[in-house]
């Protein structure tokens, strides 16, 4: 796994130290049966109490040393694995943040969450296990083999049969298990994805009484997850008993062969006990190894999924040499821009878009839903790259500006209000980290948020729930506008940001914006024609194409789509006037 390389230089020393402790511990374990056989064959058989006591003392001492080593490796293993896990998680989080929307769109959101949490935990657990027992098992296994052969080479023939069979079983186990666990992981992704979607849409589910449907849907993927897990576990469940059975057969054979020899006087009881002791140690270490492989299989599947994220090459590169031309502060040019979202087929979302916004202009964008308004403004902060054509900010192709520098110049109020858990103050400060209280209040006054925020008992320190659940739609929009205004950007983009605000408040916000936006470029997306009517320029979009550019009066005369929009809305207002 390529991404693991980064962590090797950091942790290999601690890792080796843990393995050293483990080796010491294994050696202590390996010495036990031999000492035991001595106690029985020499001390007990000849009734030599002093020998029993001496060897018993030695056993105690070795156990004590082993215990100290075990303590050491436990501490080391936890430290290393926890640190590694935390670092991997945060590196991955950073990586995800650095990716472009195109990159992120390739993953399901829920799958990214699973990768960030569950998959990292799997790898971390494997790492921890590696330092705790996994390395010890092969050591014990090989050590016991050697010690047992030294004890009695004839009985060791049994081992020569048993060990290869068990090794074969373990290899089979791995081969069958790997694809199964990958499927389990995928099913878990699905469960996560559904629960996320449900939780974000819980209001709709309740409003439309879709409980049964949702429960069914969840139940289906839950059952699928269960079925796949059970299938995997069932297949895997044959192996441990099979291994146990093989080894127990071996033990019986040893007892039988040894029994015959003890009767013949060629062998002592202690030797057989010690031999069986080594055999059980081999059994347990082999079982442990097969568990290790199970965990390895899971960790490998997880590591593969983590690697997919790290392997994402950012689709956006920039040439860092050029800097925006400062004389053209706030200018935007679109030159024959075509754009489509990755993975969508059919016609491009934007077709042959060309226009220029001069510094200080207010430009309105209007068009029916799905005509590509939000997509168009998303190209200015370079959320996505164009299919063809260039987008320029301050006269420089956005592909040649460091995205961070580019986005510093732009403040965007997205169509879907996004607020974060925290206070109102925190949320507004996202626009400008070092904003003073006066600046914040000024921005909030312009966006008509100051009034209702200061009416709260805690004022600007009122806590917003996740996604701003305790605020109304219009209140959220106004906080979101304040967040953009406090930034004092060169380019201000308002994407239908007053859709949930009443008309009177909207016109007050617009009045305030007029003075605020006098010397900055402002792009104003709106559904209502009254919102863009007095803009310096209005761009009319229809089905991804520009069908008209100009002032309200000009468009009223020349642009059919604009006339239609206007008529439909004026008609509505007149109707509502009549009914009122
Ligand atoms: N689209 C996608 N993927 C996205 C967003 C949009 O494929 O992530 C498609 C849907 C639509 C087209 O792009 O057919 C234009 O969408 P956009 O959101 O730009 O339309 P809009 O003019 O902003 O519509 P609305 O007034 O509803 O906000
Ligand atoms: Mg939109």
Whether the Cβ atoms of residue 116 and residue 92 lie closer than 8 Å to each other: yes
The Å distance, Cα 178 to ligand 1 centre, comes to 41
189-227, pLDDT tens digit by residue? 788 778 877 877 788 888 888 888 889 999 999 999 999
340-362 mean pLDDT: 89
Pocket residue to mutate for ligand 1, from 337, 350, 364, 372, most atoms within 8 A of Cβ: 372
> Does ligand 1 lie within 6 Å of residue 173's CB atom?
no
Whether the Cβ atoms of residue 173 and residue 293 lie closer than 8 Å to each other: yes
The Å distance, Cα 466 to ligand 1 centre, comes to 25
Q: Which ligand is nearest to the CA of 366?
A: 1
The Å distance, Cα 370 to ligand 2 centre, comes to 7
Which residue owns the Cα nearest ligand 1 atom 4? 341
Pocket residue to mutate for ligand 1, from 104, 105, 339, 374, most atoms within 8 A of Cβ: 374
455-511, pLDDT tens digit by residue? 999 999 999 887 777 888 899 999 999 999 999 899 999 998 888 888 888 889 988
531-546 mean pLDDT: 91
Confidence of residue 323 (pLDDT cuts 50, 70, 90): low
Pocket residue to mutate for ligand 1, from 340, 341, 347, 349, most atoms within 8 A of Cβ: 349
Residue 295, pLDDT above cutoff 90: no
> Does ligand 1 lie within 6 Å of residue 371's CB atom?
yes
Rounded distance between C-alpha atoms, residue 291 and residue 296, angstroms: 8
71-83, pLDDT tens digit by residue? 999 999 999 999 9
429-445, pLDDT tens digit by residue? 999 999 999 999 999 99
The Å distance, Cα 214 to ligand 2 centre, comes to 28
> Does ligand 1 lie within 6 Å of residue 378's CB atom?
no
Q: Which CATH number fits domain 2-310: 1.10.150.20, 3.90.1150.10, 1.20.1560.10, 1.20.1250.20?
A: 1.20.1560.10
**What pLDDT is recorded for position 324?**
60
Report the CATH superfamily, name and number, of domain 360-383+399-579.
P-loop containing nucleotide triphosphate hydrolases (3.40.50.300)
The Å distance, Cα 384 to ligand 1 centre, comes to 13
The Å distance, Cα 369 to ligand 1 centre, comes to 8
Q: Which ligand is nearest to the CA of 384?
A: 1
User: Percentage of residues in the chain with pLDDT exceeding 70?
Assistant: 97
SS3 content of the chain, % helix, strand, coil (to 5): 65, 10, 25
* Nearest residue to 190 via CA among 262, 310, 110: 110
> Does ligand 1 lie within 6 Å of residue 340's CB atom?
no
Concatenate the DSSP letters of all residues of 519-555 into one string.
TSEEEEE-SSHHHHTTSSEEEEEETTEEEEEE-HHHH
The Å distance, Cα 341 to ligand 1 centre, comes to 10
**What pLDDT is recorded for position 437?**
93
Confidence of residue 579 (pLDDT cuts 50, 70, 90): very low
Pocket residue to mutate for ligand 1, from 344, 370, 565, most atoms within 8 A of Cβ: 370
514-529 mean pLDDT: 88
User: Percentage of residues in the chain with pLDDT exceeding 90?
Assistant: 41
Find the range with the poorest average confidence among 113-122, 176-185, 257-266, 532-541.
176-185
Residue 580, pLDDT above cutoff 60: no
Question: Which two three-digit tokens encode residue 101?
Answer: 């929307």
**What pLDDT is recorded for position 404?**
84
Confidence of residue 287 (pLDDT cuts 50, 70, 90): confident
Instruction: Give the three-class secondary structure for 425.
Output: helix
Residue 267, pLDDT above cutoff 70: yes
Q: According to CATH, where is 3.40.50.300 located in the chain?
A: 360-383+399-579
Residues 6+ apart with CB under 8 A from 114: 185, 188, 189, 192, 305
Residue 535, pLDDT above cutoff 60: yes
The Å distance, Cα 498 to ligand 1 centre, comes to 18
Give CA 210 to chain center in angstroms. Answer: 29
112-164, pLDDT tens digit by residue? 888 898 889 989 999 888 887 778 888 898 999 898 898 888 888 888 898 88
Rounded distance between C-alpha atoms, residue 137 and residue 144, angstroms: 10
The Å distance, Cα 373 to ligand 2 centre, comes to 5
**What pLDDT is recorded for position 326?**
67
**What pLDDT is recorded for position 137?**
87
> Does ligand 1 lie within 6 Å of residue 373's CB atom?
yes
pTM for the full model? Answer: 0.75
What are the residue ranges of helices labelled H in 115-155? Answer: 120-129, 136-151
Residue 574, pLDDT above cutoff 60: no
Residue 352, pLDDT above cutoff 90: yes
* Nearest residue to 353 via CA among 319, 320, 306, 386: 386
Which residue owns the Cα nearest ligand 1 atom 7? 341
Whether the Cβ atoms of residue 324 and residue 395 lie closer than 8 Å to each other: yes
**What pLDDT is recorded for position 578?**
42
The Å distance, Cα 417 to ligand 1 centre, comes to 16
Of ligand 1's listed atoms, the one at least distance from the Cα of 344 is 7
> Does ligand 1 lie within 6 Å of residue 415's CB atom?
yes
* Nearest residue to 340 via CA among 97, 98, 96, 105: 105
Q: According to CATH, where is 1.20.1560.10 located in the chain?
A: 2-310
Mean pLDDT, the chain, integer? 87
The Å distance, Cα 495 to ligand 2 centre, comes to 7
40-98, pLDDT tens digit by residue? 988 888 889 999 999 999 999 999 999 999 999 999 999 999 999 999 999 999 999 88
> Does ligand 1 lie within 6 Å of residue 344's CB atom?
yes
Residues 6+ apart with CB under 8 A from 359: 328, 329, 330, 331, 490, 519, 520, 521
The Å distance, Cα 100 to ligand 1 centre, comes to 18
**What pLDDT is recorded for position 501?**
87
> Does ligand 1 lie within 6 Å of residue 416's CB atom?
no
Of ligand 1's listed atoms, the one at least distance from the Cα of 415 is 28
Residues 6+ apart with CB under 8 A from 303: 1, 3, 4, 119, 122, 123
Which residue owns the Cα nearest ligand 1 atom 14? 370
Residue 322, pLDDT above cutoff 70: no
């Amino acid at each position: 796994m390529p991404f693991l390389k980064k962590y090797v230089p950091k942790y290999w020393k601690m890792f080796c130290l843990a393995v050293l402790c483990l080796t010491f511990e294994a050696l202590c374990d390996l010495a036990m049966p031999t000492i035991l056989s001595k106690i029985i064959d020499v001390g007990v058989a000849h009734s030599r109490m002093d020998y029993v006591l001496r060897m018993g003392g030695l056993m105690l001492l070795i156990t004590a040393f082993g215990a100290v080593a075990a303590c050491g490796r436990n501490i080391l293993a936890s430290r290393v694995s926890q640190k590694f896990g935390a670092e991997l998680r945060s590196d991955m989080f950073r990586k995800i943040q650095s990716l472009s929307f195109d990159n992120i769109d390739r993953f399901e959101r829920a799958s990214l969450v699973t990768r960030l949490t569950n998959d990292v935990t799997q790898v971390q657990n494997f790492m921890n296990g590696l330092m705790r027992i996994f390395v010890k098992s092969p050591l014990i296994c090989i050590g016991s083999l050697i010690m047992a052969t030294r004890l009695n080479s004839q009985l060791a023939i049994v081992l020569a049969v048993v060990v290869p069979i068990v090794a074969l079983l373990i290899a089979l186990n791995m081969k069958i298990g790997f694809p199964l666990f990958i499927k389990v992981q995928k099913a878990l992704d699905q469960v996560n994805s559904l629960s996320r979607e449900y939780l974000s849409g819980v209001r709709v589910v309740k409003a439309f009484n879709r409980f049964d449907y949702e429960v069914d849907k969840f139940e289906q993927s839950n059952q699928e997850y269960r079925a796949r897990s059970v299938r995997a576990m069932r297949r895997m469940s044959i192996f441990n008993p099979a291994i146990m059975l093989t080894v127990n057969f071996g033990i019986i054979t040893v007892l039988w062969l040894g029994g015959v020899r003890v009767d013949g006087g060629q062998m002592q009881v202690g030797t057989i006990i010690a031999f069986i002791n080594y055999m059980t140690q081999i059994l347990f270490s082999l079982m442990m190894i097969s568990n290790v492989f199970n965990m390895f299989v899971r960790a490998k599947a997880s590591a593969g999924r983590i690697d997919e994220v790290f392997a994402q090459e950012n689709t956006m590169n920039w040439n860092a040499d050029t800097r925006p031309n400062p004389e053209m502060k706030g200018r935007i040019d679109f030159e024959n821009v075509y754009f489509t979202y990755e993975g969508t087929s059919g016609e491009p979302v934007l077709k042959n878009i060309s226009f220029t916004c001069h510094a200080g202009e207010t430009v309105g964008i209007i068009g029916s839903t799905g005509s590509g308004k939000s997509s168009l403004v998303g190209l200015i902060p370079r959320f996505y790259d164009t299919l063809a054509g260039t987008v320029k900010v301050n006269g420089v192709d956005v592909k040649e500006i460091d995205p961070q520098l580019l986005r510093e110049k732009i403040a965007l109020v997205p169509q879907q209000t996004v607020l974060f858990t925290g206070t109102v103050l925190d949320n507004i400060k996202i626009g400008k980290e070092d904003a003073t209280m006066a600046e914040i209040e000024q921005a909030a006054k312009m966006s008509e948020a100051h009034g209702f925020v200061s009416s709260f008992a805690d004022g600007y320190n009122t806590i917003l729930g996740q996604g701003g659940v305790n605020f109304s739609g219009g209140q959220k929009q106004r906080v979101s506008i304040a967040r953009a205004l406090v930034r004092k950007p060169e380019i201000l983009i308002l994407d239908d940001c007053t859709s949930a605000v009443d008309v009177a408040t909207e016109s007050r916000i617009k009045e305030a914006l007029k003075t605020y936006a006098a010397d900055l470029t402002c792009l104003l997306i709106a559904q209502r024609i009254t919102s863009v009517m007095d803009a310096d320029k209005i761009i009319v979009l229809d089905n991804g194409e520009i069908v008209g550019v100009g002032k309200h009066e000009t468009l009223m005369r020349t642009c059919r789509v604009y006339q239609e929009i206007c008529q439909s809305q004026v008609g509505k207002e007149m109707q509502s006037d009549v009914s009122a």
